[in-house]
Every structure is written in C-alpha cells, then in structure tokens.
Amino acid sequence: MAVDYDLVIIGGSLVAREAALMAVRSRANVALVEPDGLHSLAGVDELSLVGVQCHPSLLSRWDKAKQLQPPTPLYRQPDGSSLLPISHFGDAIAKRIQQQLDLAYLAGQGIDVITGDGEFRGGKQLGFAVNQRLLTARRYILASGSRPWIPQIEGLNGTGYVTLDNLLTVLKRETPPRSWVILGGMPSGLEVAQVLVRLGCQVTLITTRSQIWENASPATIQLLQAQLEADGVEIICDTKVVQTRVIDGKKWLQVGDRAIESDEILIAIAQQPNIDGLNLAAVDVKWRPYRLIVNNFLQTTNPQIYACGDVIGGYPFPSLANYEAPIAIHNSLFFRQKTVNYQQVPYVINTRPSLAHIGLTLTQAKSQYQRQVIEVKEYFKDLPLSQMTGKLTGLCSLVVGIDGQILGASVFGDGAGELINLIALAMQQNLHIKHLANLAVTSPSYSQIFVRTAQQWREYKFKQNIFYQEFLDDFFQIRRHFNW
C-alpha cells in the first residue's frame, strides 16, 4: 500500500529538527510534527543553562573572587538587578539556538512541517493522525524529548517547586530566591548548583546516591565534589527527603533527622519521556517509567517506529542525542542497519572546571573483561600551560586493557569537554594507547595531559617486563664495552 512519506518524525525537541534536516538532505520525503503551544524545544533549556555560566560578568568576577580565601561570592545579596542580566543571557542563547533550526527554515529545505497534537493509529496501516489528517510513512521516529520527573514526597505539591524547564523564569523575578535546595544529582542540577552559589545564593544539594555522580573515575568525581564544596555548595549524599511544608513563608524540608529551610526547591532527579497522548499502546510500543524500550538499532517494540534523544531515557546529554539521531535516520531509511555503541560516546558535565567521560570506568572494565585492566592517572598541575594560567586543578584517568586497548577515560579540568573528543576519536578508530604516547601535540597545551598519561602506561608495562629490562642492561653494557 502506498504511503505519503518516507519518514514522519514526531518532534518537540532540538534533535527532532536536526534529524528532519538530515533525512531531507538524504533526498527522503519527510514530515515533522511538532505539538501545539511549544514554547521551548527539549534540549535547548540544558544548552541555555550551560550558556548562563559563560556570561562574561560571571566568568570574570568569579575568576577574581576565587583568588580570595575564603571564596567570596559574586553577589552577597542577590537581587533582580544582579540576576536579570544572567537570565536574559540564557534566554538569548536559547533563542539563537532555536532560530538556527526555525520551522520556516526547515520548511524551506523541503520538510513538511505540521504543528498540532496527534496520536498513532493502528489497524491495517500504521499512521499518525494530526489536524484531521492521517500521515502514513514507511518509518516513524519518536524524538519528542523528555520532561522532569517529580518524586512522590509528602507535601511537595503544596509547597511548590521549580524544575530546570522554568528555572530561568524564576531567576527573572523582581526578588529571586536567595536560598535553594536542589533535589537530585542530574548533571544539569550540578551545573545549576554551581551557578547559583557563584551568584551569591545559598545552595544545598541533596542526592540519594552515595556520591554526587557515578559514571566516571572516582578520583575525578571526588575532585568535582570538592570543587562544588569549595565554591560553597552544601552536599548531602545518601539521604532522602521525607516531607516538605511551608512555615512562615519559608519552605522546609525534612531530610533524615534534619530540617532544612529554603526559599525555593529545584527538582533535578530524573527525566521521563514526553509520550503522553501519543497512543503508543495501540501500536504495540512499550515503555517504562523513565524510558522507551528500544533495541541496538534504536527500534521500538514496533519495528516501524524508531526513537532517539531524551525520549529513550538516560541522562539528557546533547552528545547522546546527536549520536543517536544519524543512526535512527540511517536505519529508518536504508537497508543496512547500524547499531549503537554508547561506550564510544563522550559526555561532559559543564561545571567549572568541567568533568568529561567516555567508555568504561575501572570497576566496569574489570567486571566486563576477563583480561587484566589497569588505570593510569596524571594531574594537570604539572602541565606547563596549567602553571602559566594558574589553573592547576585537574586530573586525567585512562582505563586500559593489558593489550593497550583504551576502554575508558575521565578528565576533570579546564577544557575537559574538548579534550575528551580526542579520546573519543581514538576509541572509535580502535587506536592503541601507544599512539597517544607517541602523539605530537602543541606545547604548551592541555592536550599534553594525554601524552603524559599514556606514558604512565608505557612505564607500567616496562616495569612488568623483567626479561626486557635485563636484556637492555646487557645490550647497552655490550655497546659501551665495544663502543658500538
């Protein structure tokens, strides 16, 4: 039976628009459906919050303030005049990002852009019903993004809270909150905690985990936590919030056996997929509370429907969505199927300094591989560029198989988000760690950290090979004796 399109993308996110553009550039006939009343694309809020940290006044003033002991906040009494420029800066970034993929621009590229709330229809022919039309296609992609998951805490709805979706709006109030409690350890929550405390707010971060983050080298996580605490963030781990209530205009949280007072509560625990009203059950698409169920081809339980981005689940890292979109497009349009390999996808937590990671941690590698696995580390403080800039805090950790295969890497320090891309390329091309040890890089530069870390592995291998050490001793003794 003939269909209207090669591909119909159910959007509402930044990655949906990017995917539509990729598909139409492959000469496919594409429709993009976006929901009514969409104020901000999923994925843009995270980028705009990162942009807030790049506000010139925040960077320059904090660079000066951090030289003082104890650390001095930028604004001792945060008010509208101090926070407004920062929040407007974030809004401007979000607007510019969305303008790059404006619906009018996409339509001009040949994409059939449809705005409206719709749902899947099953039966003899799968279709997507919207605006009294039934769109039919060979394949469909779900890229509707995600929204904050709100925990079931006694009194929370009555107390009120803020999510990452409306944080910038709250910061633009005439009298913004001066004290914050952040629930959860999502990467964006960690980033916001640092921004708020640098703006002079009092910030308490509460997480049920034993540490603020898990999927990276423990040493780099400890450095990140130490940095946040040095900035002034109070961190409470392995603890649940039992109850919230309002007393005398203040929000109170019962945290274990402790009561915490705050002006505002920010929820940053987890995300859940934006799939309400899509009628997925009628077309045999299965999901769980935090994610859609997909296979390694990014196919849902209905083989005609694929998915990519936050709607799949996991943390809303833009790098993951950007990795998944081309694979979902390729698999939905062409015969030869590609599979995902998340061990080769880097991510970055945009604190200052930032934490970036790719691949396996040492614990994960030891449990996954039977062969011996080692971890080699090198600190930034000995790099010439770190000495010149005074930015001495930083660590590079590489997880390496005994055969030299790079299995994972964590970097904490200035420029970590850029540095990790070099390791991503090395892992994707299956390069040996010796290639890093022999890499010629500019000097001074932060890239030297990889060369020095890789040389640690070379030294480890050398010390393990007693026979080779003895051979070299005899070899050079003979050369000296005969003056070869």
**In which domain, by residue range, is 18 found?**
5-36+116-147+272-341
Q: Cβ distance 129 to 118 under 8 Å?
A: yes
Q: Is residue 286 part of a domain?
A: yes
| Domain presence at residue 65 | no
pLDDT of residue 71: 43
Among 214, 236, 268, give the residue marking a domain's end.
268
The pLDDT of residue 45 is above 80: no
Condensed to tens digits (0 to 9), the pLDDT of residues 73-90 reads 444 444 444 566 666 666
CA distance 184 to 235: 11
pLDDT grade for 340, boundaries at 50, 70 and 90: very high
Per-residue pLDDT of 433-455, as tens digits, reads 999 989 999 999 999 999 999 99
Query: Rounded CA gap, 270 and 208, in Å?
Result: 12
What is d(CA 276, CA 457) in angstroms, rounded to the nearest whole number? 50
CATH number of the domain encompassing residue 214: 3.50.50.60
147 has pLDDT over 50: yes
**What is the pLDDT confidence band of residue 330, given thresholds at 50, 70 and 90?**
very high
pLDDT at res. 74 = 41
Query: What's the rounded mean pLDDT across residues 309-320?
Result: 89
**Domain co-membership, 437 together with 452:** yes
Q: Are residues 255 and 371 in the same domain?
A: no
Q: Is the pLDDT of residue 469 over 90?
A: no
Residues 328 and 372 in one domain: no
* 205 and 294 part of one domain: no
Q: Which of 268, 283, 310 marks a domain boundary? A: 268
Looking at the fold, whether 263 and 328 belong to one and the same domain comes out as: no
User: Do both 326 and 281 map to the same domain?
Assistant: yes
| 172 located within any domain | yes
The pLDDT tens digits for 244-261 are 999 998 999 999 889 999
On whether both 360 and 329 belong to a single domain, the answer is no
pLDDT value of residue 67? 45
Q: Are strands 118-121 and 127-130 parallel, antiparallel or unpaired?
A: antiparallel
Which DSSP symbol is given to 186?
A: -
Same domain? 450 vs 431:
yes
Q: Say if residue 176 is in the same domain as residue 288.
A: no
Domain match, 251 and 189 both: yes
102 falls within a domain: no
The model's pTM: 0.88
Residue 106 in domain: no
Element containing residue 220 per DSSP (H, E):
helix 218-231
Separation between Cα atoms, residue 430 and residue 200, nearest integer Å: 46
Q: Residue for token digits 């929901």?
A: 35
State which H helix or E strand residue 198 sits in.
helix 187-198
Comparing CA positions, the residue from 175, 167, 226, 163 lying closest to residue 195 is 167
218 inside domain:
yes
* Structural domain count, the chain: 3
154 pLDDT higher than 70: yes
Question: Taking a C-beta distance cutoff of 8 angstroms, is the pair 217, 410 a contact?
Answer: yes
Question: pLDDT tens for residues 279-311?
Answer: 999 999 999 888 899 999 999 999 999 999 999
Query: Domain check: are 211 and 277 in the same one?
Result: no
The predicted-structure confidence for 360-374, as pLDDT tens digits, reads as follows 999 999 999 877 899
Q: Is residue 431 part of a domain?
A: yes
Tokens of 454: 């890789």
Say which CATH number the domain at 402 has: 3.30.390.30
Strands of the sheet with 258-262, listed across from one edge: 241-247, 250-255, 258-262
Mean pLDDT of 119-143: 95
Q: Does residue 242 lie in a domain region? A: yes
What pLDDT, in 10s, does the model give residues 193-244? 998 998 889 999 999 999 999 999 999 999 999 999 999 999 999 999 999 9
Domain boundary among 292, 319, 341: 341
129 and 230 housed in the same domain: no
Token readout for 107 is 């339509």
Output the pLDDT for position 63.
54
